[in-house]
Structure 1
Amino acid sequence: MCMYYYWDPTYLLVIIGMLLCLAASAMVNSAMRKYSRVRNSRGMTGAEAARQILNNEGLYNVQIECLPSDSGDHYDPRTNTVRLGAGNYNGASVTAVGVAAHECGHAIQHAKGYAPLNIRSALVPVVNIGSRLGMPLIILGVILSWNQVLIQIGIWAFALAVLFQVVTLPVEFNASARAVAKVEQYGLLTGEETKGCRKVLTAAAMTYVAATASAALQLLRLVLLFGNNRRRD
């Protein structure tokens, strides 16, 4: 068996995926930087905005915590906790309020039993295993004289990770839609500030679209390279 490391056309799929992710990352970084410099007219921090949204929604049991860094904002459904990066927790920018509102959107999804969120949560343990085993199984299958059983299991394990990305899309878009709606409903931002908030959240959502497309392209590459029953010499 020979292992080939030279260029093959399927690398184009990887390059396209990388370019999509880079473009989405540049878009979200630009939007967040721009609106992180715009102080909201109420002088409300991200933590204060999150608390007001949660209280107005009757989610008094959801806690808000400050992370030690400026990144990693997320909602933890296991502990009912919204965690915000230090900049968004303490900052009074349009970005800070938008990000905080987005994470509260996830808390509202959880409280209302939003189906895609439940599906994503159920997939987490399976995807964690699959993402770790996918490529090693494929490589092991190739080493063992193109063992198609191992290769196919590896491809299906990788496909689970792609499925997780697909399920994540409606979860993130819905959380952003809820965020903008609550920001408007509770008057947290002015009209122009809300437009900025929407731009930030839309840009952030595009990173998930790019990540999903990149993962799907990588899966396609694996299928093209390894997904047939012919041993390659």
Structure 2
Amino acid sequence: MLFDRSFIILIPALVIAAYAQYKVSSTFNKYSKYRSKNGYTGAQVARMLLDYSGLNYVPIELIPGHLSDHYDPSKKVMRLSESVYYGNSVASIGVAAHETGHAIQHKEKYIPLIFRNSIVPVANFGSSASWILFILGFMFGIRGLVSIGIILFTAVVLFQIVTLPVELNASSRALKILDRRAILYNDELRGARKVLGAAAMTYVAAALTSIANLLRLIYISRERD
């Protein structure tokens, strides 16, 4: 079967994605057991760093879920999961600082973040509509729909690729400010760096998976021809 054969393209990316998920989960769990010397919680650290960066107007909200933490640029609000919000571990503080890094990027109009935010609507539409249009075009022999599906999915790939420098920069900002403000020390900083490094792997895996899917679409369309 044509679709089954093309799935081989995805296998390396899926293996990397599975490992990345394991790595981020195991690393976070490991450093969740290391209480920071200062004893600050993730919410306290986020508040301190936001205020220090002139973002005292950004509220911090508690949300459900595990590692569901994020900064919402549209509403200018930071949302932290329970384990990060209340946690006083190296892992919790690292994640909270990382999300603060995104808030600082937003304030400073960090270009990759602005670009990523600008293509969110297209990427969201592309992730849901690209395969539908592609399959319909493939089934009914409408080459135009196949091409539109590929173009729409290219926006998804672009979003995943531009996400990488955004996430890496947020982590870099987080580690620097944690060190500068003496919130974490030496071994603690190394632990936070490992947590954020593991998290970065998930974004690399997501980019590789989207690229593999795009190559799969192109392969299928050419096989059809």
Q: How does 1:156-171 map to 2 (within 5 A)?
A: 156-171=151-166
Question: Is 1:13 equivalent to 2:9 in the alignment?
Answer: yes
Cα pair distance change 1:88/1:187, threshold 3 Å: same
Asked if 1:95 is matched to 2:91, the reply is: yes
Please tell me whether the aligned partners of residues 70 and 78 of structure 2 are also in contact (alpha carbons under 8 angstroms): yes
Partner of 1:66, secondary structure, is strand
Distance apart, 1:14 and its partner CA: 1.4
Query: What does residue 63 of structure 1 align with?
Result: 59
The one-letter code of the counterpart of 2:69 is: D
Deviations 1:92-147 (A, max 9, x none): 00010000000000000000000000001100111111111100001110121x21
Question: Whose helix fraction is larger, Structure 1's or Structure 2's?
Answer: 2
CA distance in 2, matches of 1:25, 1:130: 24
Q: Which runs of 5+ in 2 are unaligned?
A: none
Determine if the alignment matches structure 1 residue 226 to structure 2 residue 221.
yes
Unaligned runs of 5+ in 1: none
- Structure showing greater radius of gyration is 1
- Matches of 1:98 and 1:6, distance apart in 2: 42
Could you list the structure 1 runs, at least 4 aligned residues long, displaced by more than 2 angstroms after superposition. Answer: 4-7, 68-71
Match of 2:24 among 22, 28, 49: 28
Indicate the SS of the match to 2:119. Answer: helix
The residue aligned with 1:203 is: 198
Q: Encode CA deviations 1:2-40: one digit per residue, 9 max, x unaligned.
A: xx36742x3221111110100111111111010001100
Quote the offset at 1:58 in angstroms. 1.2
Letter in 2 for 1:113: K
SS at match of 2:14: helix
The 2-side partners of 1:221 and 1:178 are apart by: 36
Q: Aligned-pair RMSD on alpha carbons? A: 1.3
AA partner of residue 212 (structure 1): A
- Aligned equivalents of 2:3, 2:107: Cα separation in 1: 51
TM, length-normalised to structure 1: 0.93
Distance (whole Å) between structure 2 residues aligned to residue 59 and residue 7 of structure 1: 50
Q: Is the 8 A contact 2:41 2:89 kept in 1?
A: yes
Write the distance in 2 (CA, Å) between the matches of 1:74 and 1:163: 20
> Equivalent residue for 2:183?
188
Deviation string 1:177-223 (CA, Å, 9 cap, x unpaired) is 00000100111111110000000001100110011011101110110
Query: 2:3 touches 2:220 (CA, 8 Å); kept in 1?
Result: no
- The alignment of Structure 1 onto Structure 2 pairs a total of residues equal to 225
Distance, in Å, in 2 between the alignment partners of 1:72 and 1:123 is: 22
Measure the CA separation in 1 of the matches of 2:178 and 2:150.
42
Pairing partner for 1:52 from 48, 53, 56: 48
1:75 pairs with one of 47, 65, 71:
71
Query: Contact 1:151–1:227 at 8 Å: present in 2 too?
Result: no
